[in-house]
Amino acid sequence: MYRAAIEELDVFLSTHPNITTFQLLLCDSGGVLRGKHLRREEMRALYEHGRALPSSLMGLTLRGEDVEETGLVWDVGDADGIAFPVTGSLRLVPWLTDTAQVQVMLDTEQGGFGRHADPRALLMDVIAELQSDGLHPVMAGELEFYLLEEDEDGRVLPARLTNGRRPQDPGVYGIDELEGAMPFLDALYSACEVQGVPARTAISEYGCGQLEITLEHRSCALQAMDETMLYKRLIKAVAAQQGLIACFMAKPFAGLVGNGFHLHISLADEKGNNLFASDEPEGTPLLRHSIAGLQASLADSMALFCPNANSYRRFQSHSYAPVAPTWGVNNRTVAFRVPLGPPFSRHVEHRICGADANPYLAAAAVLAGMHLGIRQRLDAGPAIVGNGYAQAGQAMSLDWHSALERLAESEWARNMLGARFLDIFLAVKRAEYRQFMGEVGQQDYDWYLHRA
C-alpha cells in the first residue's frame, strides 16, 4: 500500500515544530511536478481524507496549458480527484525556510481520472507484473546537466568557475573543473543529505560546464525513480539559490554534447540475488533476453524516452548518444551497454533517454520492454565490438512526430500504459507538437528571411 500512515506525520510534526509550509508534489505525464502549498494545520486532513486536485492538472502541456483533447477539462467539468501522501516521502526542503514536501498520488476515479493518469502508478503496475514472475528490478538513475548562467545580454552560457573563468573546453573528467564548481557541489551534497537522496560520484562531463552525479542503485525500482525525480528538482533549486541555472534540456547547445538520462537495471530474485550475475562479461541468457526485449520495444517507446522536440537533437553520430538499437560490453557507442565489473554487479545501462524524460515513464517502458524479451525469449544478436556508430545497421526513429505516431499505433504500448493513459499522453504531446511547430523563431529568420 502506497498511502502513508498518520503516524508518519505525527512523528515528523513532533520532530520539526518549526515547519509551517508543506509542498504537495504530484508528477504529471510531462515530468513536471505540480501541486499545492498547505499550512501545518491542514496536514492531518490530507493524511486522513486526502486532498482534492483538479482533473485538468494531469492534462497540461509543459507550459501549463489545458489540453481539451485529454477529456480532463470541460468534458468532466474540470472535476477533482483525490490525492493521498506517499509513504516515506515527507522530508525537509533545505533551500526554503520552515518548509517540507510530500509526494502525493491520485487514488480514486473521482472526477473522470485517477490512478490511470498517474505516471508513478503506471510504474508500480509494471513492477508488479515483473514481480509476479519472480523478477525484482534493481535500478539507478544517472542524469547529466549543464550548469549555466545568463550574461548581461540575456545569453545563456556555461557558468563561471570559482577562478572567474568560463569553461571553454570539454574538460571531461577534469579535477580543476570540479574544484571550480565546489560551492555548488558542496551545497548540492548538503541538500541531498537532508532529503536522503543518495548522491555519490561527481564528474565533469564532456560538455563545457556539464556535470554528472551518480545515484546509488536501489533494490526498489520505484524508490530509485522517486529519488531521481526529487534529485532533479533539488539540483535546480540549489543552482537557483546561487544565481545559476541547472539545465536538463536534452540538447542545450548545438556544438556540444547533449544531456542523457542513463538507466542502470538488473533483475533480482526474491532473496536479492542478481539474476544477471555471471563470470561472462555478456551476462546470463536472462540478461540477453532482456536486451532483446529493449531492442524489440524501442521504436514503440521512443516518444517516452525522448518526449520533446529538443530531445531528438541529441542523437548525432560520435556524440556519445546512441543512434541504433545496438548492444555491447564495456562500449559507450551502443544503446544498451553492459558495464565492466565483478560478476555480482552485472547489469544493463540503457543510454537512450534524454535528461528531459519523465523518470517514471522511462523506467516503466524499459522494464516492460525487458519483460517482453524475457517472456518471449527473444535473441539480442551478437554484441557490438568496437565502433557502434560504424556498425549501426537499423537506425532508431529520430523524429518527434514519427515517434508519437508509432506510439499511437503500438498495441504493446497500449497494453503497457493502459488505453486511457496513452490517450491522455498523446493528446498532450500532439498539442505541444502543434504549438512548437506553429512558432516562428530566430532560426526561421536566419534560414529564410533573405533566401526564401
Query: Are residues 363 and 238 part of one domain?
Result: yes
Which tens digits make up the pLDDT trace of 135-194?
999 999 999 999 999 988 889 999 999 999 999 888 899 999 999 999 999 999 999 999
DSSP line for 279-297? SSTT--HHHHHHHHHHHHH
What is the pLDDT at residue 109?
55
Query: Are residues 107 and 256 part of one domain?
Result: no
Whether the per-residue pLDDT at 111 is higher than 60: the answer is: no
Query: Are residues 106 and 139 part of one domain?
Result: no
Sequence-ordered list of residues with C-beta below 8 angstroms from that of 314, at least 6 positions apart, any chain:
250, 251, 258, 259, 260, 306, 321, 354
Number of domains in the chain: 2
Q: Which amino acid is at 412?
A: W
Query: Are residues 18 and 155 part of one domain?
Result: no
Which tens digits make up the pLDDT trace of 379-416?
999 999 999 888 877 778 789 999 999 999 999 999 99
Cell representation of residue 109:
476515479
CATH of the domain at 135: 3.30.590.10
Query: Are residues 293 and 209 part of one domain?
Result: yes
Q: What residues are paired with 328 via a beta bridge?
A: 337
- Residue appearing with cell numbers 498495441: 411
Separation between Cα atoms, residue 121 and residue 119, nearest integer Å: 5
Whether the per-residue pLDDT at 114 is higher than 70: the answer is: no
Q: What's the distance, Cα to Cα, between the start and end of the chain in Å?
A: 60
Whether the per-residue pLDDT at 120 is higher than 90: the answer is: yes
Separation between Cα atoms, residue 413 and residue 420, nearest integer Å: 12
Q: Is 262 among the domain residues?
A: yes
Which tens digits make up the pLDDT trace of 327-374?
999 999 999 999 999 999 999 999 999 999 999 999 999 999 999 999
Q: What is the mean pLDDT of residues 310-325?
A: 90
In terms of residues, how long is the chain?
452
Q: Is 236 among the domain residues?
A: yes
Q: Is 442 among the domain residues?
A: no
Q: Is 434 among the domain residues?
A: no
At which of 85, 114, 143 does a domain end? 114
Is 385 exposed, middle or buried, given 0-12, 13-18 or 19+ CB atoms closer than 10 A? exposed
Query: Are residues 131 and 109 part of one domain?
Result: no
CA-to-CA separations, 353 to 31, 215, 359, 434, in angstroms, rounded: 13, 16, 9, 23
Sequence-ordered list of residues with C-beta below 8 angstroms from that of 332, at least 6 positions apart, any chain:
320, 351
Cell representation of residue 221:
525500482
Q: How many CA atoms lie within 13 A of 443 on its CB side?
A: 3
Q: Is 435 among the domain residues?
A: no
Looking only at the bridges linking them, the beta strands covering 80-85 and 99-106 are antiparallel
Q: Is 433 among the domain residues?
A: no
Cell representation of residue 3:
498511502
* Dihedral sign (CA 396, 146, 220, 279): positive
Q: Which domain holds residue 294?
A: 127-417
Pick from 387, 202, 376: which is nearest to 290 by CA?
376
Query: Are residues 99 and 134 part of one domain?
Result: no
Q: What is the DSSP letter of 218?
A: B
CATH of the domain at 100: 3.10.20.70
